[in-house]
Structure 1
Amino acid sequence: MERGRKKPILELTCSVRTHIGSDDEAYSSCFQLEDDIGNKGFRLTRDLPRAGAKALAKNLRVLLPKVLPLSEILRYAINHYRNKMMKRPAPKGSGPGLNLKSGIDHFCVHPGGRAIIDEVGKSLALNDHDLEPARMALHRFGNTSSGGLWYVLGYMEAKKLLKKGDTILMISLGAGFKCNNCVWKVMKDLEDKNVWKDCIDHYPPNTISNPFSEKFGWINDESMNFARREDYISRLYTNNN
């Protein structure tokens, strides 16, 4: 290494990409198209959470054996075999059955919406502390697609949560439908306030409720496959009269 060159702050230790576009439901759950007057946008259907869960599960079946200790893999395999022989179903809310924290210290969850964060948290049996960075990134910067992961990572750093030797599972979801997950190793203590420097001291806030949810909750109406500009204007006019 050349003298004076900065040492890396993160090391990529594992990366797995999963694509389930051959599944019709997954393929059409997040689709770019034009409305009837030519405005481009993304149509997100009610199948999206189910497609995300399917892609995530398929991805983790490949990734987790690469990053979790052998003792945890064996414990899970023994319990799974025992339950199968005794015909006992897995308890509800048990997540993947593996103790992810035996090999992962932090979870950088795709901040693509409250439902996405909650579903990933439920699937992996994560607690509020684990999901706080993703929820705060969504609250502060909104849904910036997979690019939002760096705001999530930045929040962890600004809060001085990342210490040398820690591991981070980064979970990314997107149209296709695809799931790209990777594991980072922290190479040194991180505490740069980065893009969060002007507000990190005020996070987390007392509440992250959306003040617009009551007024604009109709956007998620099941009968709407695509929200158009005229729909916003029409509904706003109705609500104000």
Structure 2
Amino acid sequence: MEFFTTIFILFISFFPLTLRLLNQFFNKKSEQCCYMLNYECYKPPNDRKMDTESSCRVVLRSRNLGWDEYKFLLQTMVSSGIGEETYSPKNVIAGKEKDPSFHDSIDEMDEIFIQTLDNIFLKSGISPQEIDILVVNVSLLSPAPSLTSRIINHYKMRSDIKAFNLSGMGCSASLIAIDLVRNLFKIHKKSLALVVSTESLGPNWYCGKEKSMMLSNCLFRSGGCSMLFTNNSDFKGRAILKLRYLVRTHFGANDEAYECCIQVEDNEGYRGFRLTKKLTKAAARAFVMNLRVLAPKILPPWELVRYAMVSMRWKKEKNTVLEAVGVGLNLKSGVKHFCIHPGGRAVIDGVGKSLALTEYDLEPARMTLHRFGNTSAGGLWYVLGYMEAKKRLKKGDRIFMISFGAGFKCNNCVWEVMKDMGDPNVWEDCIDSYPPKTLLNPFTEKYGWINDEYLSFLRLEDCVFADENGCLFSFT
């Protein structure tokens, strides 16, 4: 009896301490969470729209191009999957792509920063002075003072704010910035963080004639996004997403991967972004490496066992038929939605094929590429915006976010939807018209002559073109 009495006394004595320790443990776990409270994508004004006709006029302004380069650009534009309502930098629209000023570069950033951040503060009810952490990622522009300092100065943020400026990270920089925030949340409790993701296109327009570098002019368009995060459990009820897992893979040790997506100067001294044919191969290998780490975290045990058994059987029998139909991981057993970086048709098709995804799964990425083009690090959030505008995202759903970037990098993550989402956001004025009946470029017929072999003898200087005012000109 004395033994049980002693145990009871000890239990009563240590019970408050036990509760306190348990409370501290769960509080610590909750403070390590990363919740998204809001995100705002940038939508330029209508006078910045760049349809195929406008793109052709920009191409024709370059007297460095010959007939083969002009033909290549037209073929690329009409088959790129990009529609007629994407946006271009102001200096390109104004015809200043050859000699952009520093003011053009800063002005481009200010427009994106101020529009998206003003909307974030307005909709969330959070003031700029409440922000504890600020991360800005712009790969191709790094002025002094930094872009983070520019935002801090504009909004008169606190002197103890933790500010980070990331450059050179490419199209997957957005998830790198979020990973930085997630790790800072482990140290800074009950904090609010802003991430701003965009790209500086205006001063980086390629004016040379190397085909692998001209591709960037056809694919990249103006865009960006600002996001608000917290690890404060008091805001949990207001959160729209919760970060479950994030895995970063860097394949830069491989020379081919490192060089497949790189900023360089061509032989004539024109600076641009070179995209080689090795890009899809590098993306595939980096993606596989990333999934080896991420898949066990998100898939149920029975799916991992199934995959292991099928893989062993395939290796034993060398069954190419099984390989052709795809015996890879069934990611749909662990996630419901796929948010793929809209880097181009080849990227979207490649991810869809490797994961055996349906057209329904690929629709958000394809439509984002069509409506907004490749907006670099901000692209993922236009894809998410499409899903939300279509009211696909329901509480408890999981979203698999897939991104690729120069380096070569593959950064993927999984979000959990915290509440039903249905804000039309930047898609408000056009979501009802998507998906369109066809993604065929309306100028395919108009420029169909570019595929005629019997015109190959023509020289550009022999042709006569019309400018935006209807005036005729030639290159002679």
Q: Which TM bucket (shorter chain)?
A: 0.7 to 0.9
AA aligned opposite 2:306 = R
Among 241, 248, 255, which residue is 1:24 paired with?
A: 255
Query: Kindly tell me: are residues 89 and 198 of structure 1, through their superposed partners in 2, closer, same or farther at Cα, counting changes over 3 Å?
Result: same
Partner of 2:307: 76
Among 188, 203, 219, which residue is 2:419 paired with?
A: 188
Q: CA deviation at 1:83?
A: 2.9
- SS of 1:101's equivalent in the other structure is helix
Q: CA deviation at 1:210?
A: 2.8
| Structure 2 unaligned regions, length at least 5 | 1-231, 451-458, 466-473
Q: Partners of 1:198 and 1:236 in 2: how far apart? A: 42
Kept after mapping to 2: 8 A contact 1:29/1:48: yes
Among 148, 165, 168, which residue is 2:379 paired with?
A: 148
Q: CA deviation at 1:33?
A: 1.4
Kept after mapping to 1: 8 A contact 2:314/2:322: no
1:35 aligns with 2:263: no
Query: Kindly tell me: are residues 110 and 235 of structure 1, through their superposed partners in 2, closer, same or farther at Cα, counting changes over 3 Å?
Result: farther
AA aligned opposite 1:101 = K
Kept after mapping to 2: 8 A contact 1:146/1:173: no
Question: Relative contact order, CA 8 A, sep 6+: which one is greater?
Answer: 1
Partner of 1:228: none
Number of aligned positions between the proteins? 226
Partner of 2:356: 125
1:209 aligns with 2:437: no
Q: CA deviation at 1:235?
A: 5.4
Kept after mapping to 2: 8 A contact 1:112/1:146: no
Q: Partners of 1:148 and 1:33 in 2: how far apart? A: 23
1:161 aligns with 2:392: yes
Percent identity for Structure 1 against Structure 2: 61
Range that drifts further, 1-10 or 41-50: 1-10
1:110 aligns with 2:341: yes
Partner of 1:230: none
AA aligned opposite 1:108 = C
Kept after mapping to 2: 8 A contact 1:20/1:178: yes
Query: Kindly tell me: are residues 206 and 87 of structure 1, through their superposed partners in 2, closer, same or farther at Cα, counting changes over 3 Å?
Result: closer
Q: CA deviation at 1:66?
A: 0.5
Kept after mapping to 1: 8 A contact 2:239/2:418: yes
- SS of 2:328's equivalent in the other structure is coil
Q: CA deviation at 1:6?
A: 5.6
Deviations 1:105-131, CA, capped at 9 Å, x for gaps: 000011000111011111111110000
Kept after mapping to 1: 8 A contact 2:260/2:274: yes
Query: Kindly tell me: are residues 39 and 128 of structure 1, through their superposed partners in 2, closer, same or farther at Cα, counting changes over 3 Å?
Result: same
Deviations 1:71-129, CA, capped at 9 Å, x for gaps: 10011112222333344346244346221111110000110001110111111111100
Query: Kindly tell me: are residues 94 and 15 of structure 1, through their superposed partners in 2, closer, same or farther at Cα, counting changes over 3 Å?
Result: farther
Partner of 2:368: 137
Q: CA deviation at 1:4?
A: 7.9
- SS of 1:91's equivalent in the other structure is helix
Query: Kindly tell me: are residues 210 and 95 of structure 1, through their superposed partners in 2, closer, same or farther at Cα, counting changes over 3 Å?
Result: farther
Kept after mapping to 2: 8 A contact 1:113/1:138: yes
Deviations 1:144-172, CA, capped at 9 Å, x for gaps: 12311000000000000000000000000
AA aligned opposite 2:331 = L
AA aligned opposite 2:407 = G
Kept after mapping to 2: 8 A contact 1:93/1:123: no
Among 401, 404, 408, which residue is 1:170 paired with?
A: 401
Greater Rg, structure 1 or structure 2? 2
- The TM-score, its normalising length taken from structure 2, stands at 0.44
Q: Partners of 1:194 and 1:237 in 2: how far apart? A: 47
- Could you say which structure has the higher helix fraction? 2
Partner of 1:101: 332
